[in-house]
Chain A
């Protein structure tokens, strides 16, 4: 028979280990700040459009990295974050167009997860050979075809939410902000990575990826009437990479340029959600699920602060009796 002391010790140890087992779930945020935020957020989200600030969402470029936007949208939608207008660049334009067309985040995530490098381009041995030897860039015609399959030949005016996307005129270096006309061609132009994907001919212009001139299109969102802009940024951490191939060098140059541009543009945003996707190469579609998860985590962490910032900017509306909205100049402050 085991000695009672030994049994007691065994029981004590078992009890200690059992402490690992299920503990009560975390309490909701019952701090005074949390309770007031929750109260005012519920008041704000109950206000109809027109009786609160016009909220814009600016989605950066970043190819595979930009899949993080779908994670960000998942969290924002869950929190009933009001989004009235959407602007996007490159992959941000693709995601933004689908979201503005009314696709829920779950659908966006599924689309992103199904993407491979061949989905949007004519990637293959022959086309790569032509790119390297014949200097003939790839084409992203398949992106346009996929978009047509997704939401038909819609025009900007037909979308559920006002939407804009950005491209650059290769001849003049001008920034082109699309707000009308057929969506698919504009989105394709916005996501034509220069040097690798052929420019898109549109309205007598040769257009390339807007990321080279306006990676975080806060200004495009404002052009659509946004008074308060949330920017979702998916920057690369170029300091970590050591480019060895031509493709990697090109990525490095684009990333550095995009990063410098983004730094300036996010100054214009009222709030920034920066997903930790810096280590994901723009062409690595296998890392898309990782990017989506990073978007969810970043948005989840920043959500309370984003809500507080929007509440503070919306206070004149919240205090206003039903009827006229306060003048725009009163509201848009960072």
Chain B
């Protein structure tokens, strides 16, 4: 019989008695561990990040940073160290110190390239810091290793949206929506509707935003519907949806301003003027409301009022430079008329 060298070098099995001996030791250990005496047995070390996680959840980011110092991280095992880096980077980000957060993430993602959470955190922060061109490869890297990661897929979709790659963004939304949990999320449908609308596929966009509305009727989704309807040339339906959105978010002057402009587009100057006056009651220095009022007044034949409103709108150039430039130019065009 052929005997390999490996077989020859393997130590011979212990006799039956020896086997019993090992079993007895194991049994004693088990008994000892289960008894009150186990209290004296050295237990597995406690989670070194337990307190950090609690502080982070309580939004005590300064305290997280006081604990999770580079020295603290150096004494952790690899897996915990990666987690700690995440807490450190996210805490910096939450405190608005994006540059520090980015540098922590950059280093950490190099140290732990397989840690998906770190990679995703880094990519999201890059995207949120208006650096979508840098975020894109990071999201793509995560998807390479985890093609079913909905977070990465949607992060990439948003990044592509920011870069203007609407077709690819819509493809990624569609893939993400195959996951039943994502299909129940109205925000994913809203994102899908937005990129479809931005790529000129308005009918599909309307269908997608209606799915979002079926899941949640809120001001943002109604605003999306309004914008899509306007893009489809359905101005009256758009105005109706915008009114509904504003009804749910009355404090937001942007919706009132948009309504004023859309009413002007719909040749409803008296209604536009009413909207503008409502806004001006709250903030007399609202330059766009002044502009809407001026245009409405002009079409109603109130030239003096229109000129005064435009002059005011033109004087608020710091916050709204485009409104001011347009107002100045219109005043110039009107001349002494």
Residues of A within 8 A of B (CB): 5-6, 8-10, 12-13, 15-17, 20-28, 30-33, 35-40, 42-43, 74-75, 78, 293, 296-297, 299-300, 308, 311-312, 315-316, 319
Residue of A nearest to B83 (CB): A13
Q: Are B322 and A17 in contact (CB under 8 A)?
A: no
Are the C-beta atoms of A311 and B150 separated by less than 8 Å? no
Contact yes or no, A312 B325, CB < 8 A: yes
> What is the distance, in angstroms, from B157's C-beta to the closest C-beta of chain A?
9
**Given known contacts A23-B187, A25-B191, A312-B325, is B288 in contact with A6 (CB within 8 Å)?**
no
Q: From residue 227 to 262 of chain B, which have CB atoms closer than 8 A to chain A?
A: 227, 230, 254-255, 257-258, 261-262
A5–B161 alpha-carbon span in the complex (Å): 41
Q: Which residues of B contact A (CB under 8 A)?
A: 47, 49-51, 53-54, 56-58, 83, 86-87, 90, 117, 120-121, 124, 133, 150-151, 154, 158, 161-166, 182, 185, 187-188, 190-191, 194, 198-200, 220, 223, 227, 230, 254-255, 257-258, 261-262, 264-265, 286-288, 291, 319-323, 325-326, 329-330, 333
B150 touches A22 (CB 8 A): yes
A residues near B150, Cβ cutoff 8 Å: 21-22
Given contacts A22-B154, A25-B190, A75-B164, 13 further A-B contacts (CB under 8 A): A9-B57, A13-B56, A17-B117, A20-B124, A22-B185, A25-B187, A32-B319, A33-B321, A33-B323, A36-B261, A36-B291, A78-B198, A316-B333
21 contacts between A and B (CB under 8 A): A9-B47, A9-B50, A12-B53, A12-B54, A13-B56, A17-B117, A24-B190, A25-B187, A26-B161, A32-B254, A32-B287, A32-B288, A32-B319, A32-B322, A36-B323, A39-B262, A78-B166, A297-B133, A297-B164, A312-B325, A315-B326
- B199:A13 contact, CB within 8 angstroms: no
Could you tell me the distance between the alpha carbons of A141 and B49 in the complex, rounded to whole angstroms? 69
Residues from chain A with a CB closer than 8 A to the CB of B321 are 33
> Which of B87, B120, B190, B322 sits near A308, CB closer than 8 Å?
B322
A299: nearest chain-B partner, CB-CB: B164
A254–B149 CA distance with the chains assembled, in angstroms: 47
How many Cβ-Cβ contacts under 8 Å join chain A to chain B?
131
Whole-angstrom distance from the CB of B248 to the nearest CB of chain A?
15
CB closest residue in chain B, given A13: B53
Q: How far is the CB of A299 from chain B (nearest CB, A)?
A: 7
Please give me the residue from chain B that is nearest to A15 by CB atom: B57
Residue of A nearest to B212 (CB): A25
Shortest CB distance A330–B (Å): 9
CB B269 to nearest CB in A, in angstroms, measures 14
Task: Give the distance in Å from the alpha carbon of A319 to the alpha carbon of B319 in the complex.
Answer: 24
Instruction: Give the residues in chain B near A25, CB-CB below 8 Å.
Output: 158, 161, 187, 190-191, 194
B165 smallest CB distance to A (angstroms): 6
Q: Report whether B320 and A33 are in contact in the complex, using a CB–CB cutoff of 8 Å.
A: yes
Given A20-B151, A24-B190: A12 touches B326 (CB 8 Å cut-off) = no
**Which of B83, B164, B265 contacts A296 (CB under 8 A)?**
B164
Across the interface, which residues of A come within 8 angstroms of B223, CB to CB?
Answer: 27-28
Give the nearest-CB partner of B51 in chain A.
Answer: A9
A36 and B288 contact, CB distance less than 8 A: yes
Q: How far is the CA of A39 from the CA of B291 in the complex (A)?
A: 12
Contacts of B191 in A (CB 8 A): 25
- Asked whether, in the complex, the Cβ of B326 is within 8 Å of the Cβ of A311, the reply is yes
Q: Which residue of A lies closest to B173 (CB)?
A: A25
**A319 close to B227 (CB less than 8 A):** no
Q: How far is the CB of A308 from chain B (nearest CB, A)?
A: 6
Q: Once the chains are docked, how many angstroms separate the CA of A220 from the CA of B49? A: 67
Give Cα A75–Cα B198 distance, bound, in whole angstroms: 10
Other-chain residue from A20, A26, A293 in contact with B117 (beta carbon distance below 8 A)? A20
Q: Which of A26, A31, A35, A315 contacts B329 (CB 8 A)?
A: A315
Query: Which residues on B sit within 8 Å (CB–CB) of A297?
Result: 133, 163-164
Inside 8 A of B220's CB, which chain A residues have their CB? Answer: 24, 27
